[in-house]
Amino acid sequence: MPDRVLITGGAGFIGSHLCARFLDEGCEVICIDNLSTGNLANISRFFSDRRFSFVKYNVTQYLHVDGEVDLILHFASPASPTDYLEMPIQTLKVGSLGTHKALGLAKSKKARFLLASTSEIYGDPLVHPQKESYFGNVNPVGLRGVYDEAKRFAEALVMAYHRNHGIHTHIARIFNTYGPFMRMDDGRVLPNFITQALRGEPLTVYGDGTQTRSFCYIDDLVEGLYRLCQSDYAYPVNIGNPEEITIIDLAREIISRTGSRSEIEFRELPAGDPLVRRPDITVATNLLNWIPAVGRQMGLNRTLEYFEQHIDDVTNN
Ligand code: UDP
């Protein structure tokens, strides 16, 4: 069990859940975030805990932390397509320079390191479901290239630090994740559909809605990450829920779950939008004895409850 954990991007959706988990496990948590997409409201409940500290900082700059650090979780990055298309250069910088700085700190502190990588490594996949051994189908000069290539570079850098400096490193390829503390206006499909349904506005389905995604509830993801950073495995591990659904079926499911009178409105499919996505989680299951425990019905209920409570928060952005 690490004593002192540093989480970059700790004020984001996944980062804030990781802060909660490591505080619950009795660790001291240092959260670093420049709040470009993170939000203090996600972590304000930890401020009274003296084991928690927050530093507003951009991790593409030289990182200095006093004292020992046992584990670094590198989660800083815009992660929704809307965000990284609005911040393409920041996305490339945090994935490359930010990962370099975070690894440099891990090396100097002799800390373990976990990289938040992504299913976007696989691009618009030609292999389905996606196994870690698939090298992917990414267009480096496409719009999504800023995120995909930054994360691919980050994976390469992590492996180089592992091989050359002997650091204990981990690479989690995170698939679509959802749950409380997601930013309502982050442009992703679930926050969009849920807020649209709750407001009685049309649900915006991009393309014909036959593209698929597989959605993992946040608690399952956090459990998988927690187990991964206690393993000795340095190669990439898919963490996600293999339950796959088309986007049009997801829209119908949310309309019926919320009892909304919203209709479905079709919009143009964004360039480079992957047609299918579903993790093969054999590696995670064998290595970590992990499988997702929360089905979509329960996960959506918990998420809806959060969104209903926060839909009127003007500050939730
Ligand atoms: N999508 C949609 N309507 C929306 C937002 C997204 O139909 O209002 C689609 C998007 O085109 C993609 C899928 O939902 O096929 C998931 O998009 P998201 O932005 O959540 O993340 P991605 O999985 O593409 O990284």
| Cis amide linkage into residue 129, ω under 30° from 0 | yes
pLDDT of residue 315: 43
CA distances to 47, 54, 60, 311 from 314, rounded to whole Å, are: 22, 23, 30, 8
Distance in Å, CA 259 to ligand 1 centroid = 22
Distance in Å, CA 200 to ligand 1 centroid = 19
Ligand 1 contact, 249 CB (< 6 A): no
Using one digit for the tens of pLDDT, what is the confidence trace for 72-110?
A: 999 999 999 999 999 999 999 999 999 999 999 999 999
CATH number for the domain running over 4-177+217-239 = 3.40.50.720
pLDDT of residue 270: 94
Using CA atoms, how far apart are residues 231 and 141, in angstroms rounded to an integer? Answer: 35
pLDDT of residue 316: 42
CA atoms within 13 A on the CB side of 37: 28
CATH architecture for the domain at 180-213+243-277+294-315? Alpha-Beta Complex (3.90)
Residue 251 corresponds to which tokens in the numbers above?
């829209």
Residue tagged 């090298």 (tokens): 135
> CA 79: distance to chain centroid?
7
Using CA atoms, how far apart are residues 161 and 165, in angstroms rounded to an integer? Answer: 5
Work out which ligand 1 atom sits closest to the CA atom of 192: 8
User: How are beta strands 216-217 and 169-174 bridged, if at all?
Assistant: unpaired
Give the residue ranges of the chain where pLDDT is below 70. Answer: 314-317
In sequence order, the 6+-apart residues with CB closer than 8 A to the CB of 295 are: 243
pLDDT of residue 313: 79
Which residue's alpha carbon is nearest to atom 11 within ligand 1? Answer: 206
Listed residue (223, 236, 231) closest to 287, CA to CA = 231
Using CA atoms, how far apart are residues 148 and 168, in angstroms rounded to an integer? Answer: 24
Query: Which of the residues 62, 84, 122, 147 is marked catalytic?
Result: 147
Using CA atoms, how far apart are residues 176 and 46, in angstroms rounded to an integer? Answer: 26
Ligand 1 contact, 36 CB (< 6 A): no
Using CA atoms, how far apart are residues 37 and 10, in angstroms rounded to an integer? Answer: 11
* pTM over the 0.85 mark: yes
Distance in Å, CA 196 to ligand 1 centroid = 14
Ligand 1 contact, 191 CB (< 6 A): no
Distance in Å, CA 2 to ligand 1 centroid = 36
Residue 45 corresponds to which tokens in the numbers above?
């409940």
User: Best substitution site from 119, 146, 247, 266 to test ligand 1's pocket, by max atoms within 8 Å of Cβ?
Assistant: 247
Is 235 one of the catalytic residues? no
Using CA atoms, how far apart are residues 124 and 277, in angstroms rounded to an integer? Answer: 8
In sequence order, the 6+-apart residues with CB closer than 8 A to the CB of 141 are: none
DSSP state for residue 269 in the 8-state scheme: P
Ligand 1 contact, 205 CB (< 6 A): yes
Residue tagged 């479905």 (tokens): 264
Residue range(s) in the chain whose domain bears CATH number 3.90.25.10: 180-213+243-277+294-315
pLDDT of residue 314: 47
Residue range(s) in the chain whose domain bears CATH number 3.40.50.720: 4-177+217-239
